[in-house]
Amino acid sequence: MAEASYVYHDRFLDEMKMNAALRDRRIFISEEVDRESMFKACYLLDRLVELDKQDDKKKDIEIILDSYGGYIYHGLALISKIISLREMGYKIITTVNSVAMSMGFMILLCGSERRGLKHSRIMCHQPSSASWGTLQDMEESVEETQALWDRMKELIIKYTNITNNQLEDIKSRKYDWFMWSEEALKLGVIDYII
């Protein structure tokens, strides 16, 4: 019989996050970027937009990141929502508390104002794929992963000073590009160190 694993669910932390979102307009992403965490973040953004309709005023929203990343497809849902809100006239502030890596990095980039703490650690890398099965399955996975990398590169180049050559260097040498806030500031990944 397999042993059941138990993950402690901290209701106090959940309540803190909900209060921060609805009272202070600060959405915390401190877990893996996955379907559930991105659904919650998008839901909270939609709630704030609904609350703003009552006042007929678009107030700033802050997204605070402490994320090592996760799934690209689910992260793109939040990125799409952020871009949509920016186009509606919202100021979306993305702030790195400790880490914004992988998809956390991508979410950080889409804020209209991007900030990091002095000792924040930020990391960019190419997408990975765990493809198994037939040769056809693996070829399709490679094509899809390349398409995702192309989409990620478009966003990175649009919102930062990072060049296509720098991104292709990451791909060809297969490495994770770690940076402190000072380097991120020089590269246009963040706008301010706080």
pTM listed for this prediction: 0.88
End-to-end CA distance of the chain: 51
pLDDT at 11: 84
Q: What is the pLDDT along the chain (194 residues), one digit of tens a residue?
A: 444 545 567 888 888 888 888 899 999 999 999 999 999 999 999 999 999 999 889 999 999 999 999 999 999 999 999 999 999 999 999 999 999 999 999 999 999 999 999 999 999 998 876 667 777 777 787 888 889 999 999 999 999 999 999 998 877 777 899 999 999 999 999 999 99
* Sequence ranges of the domains in the chain: 11-193
The CB-side HSE value for 171 (13 A sphere, CA atoms) comes to: 15
At the topology level, CATH places domain 11-193 in: 2-enoyl-CoA Hydratase; Chain A, domain 1 (3.90.226)
Cα dihedral sign for 183, 159, 42, 52?
A: positive
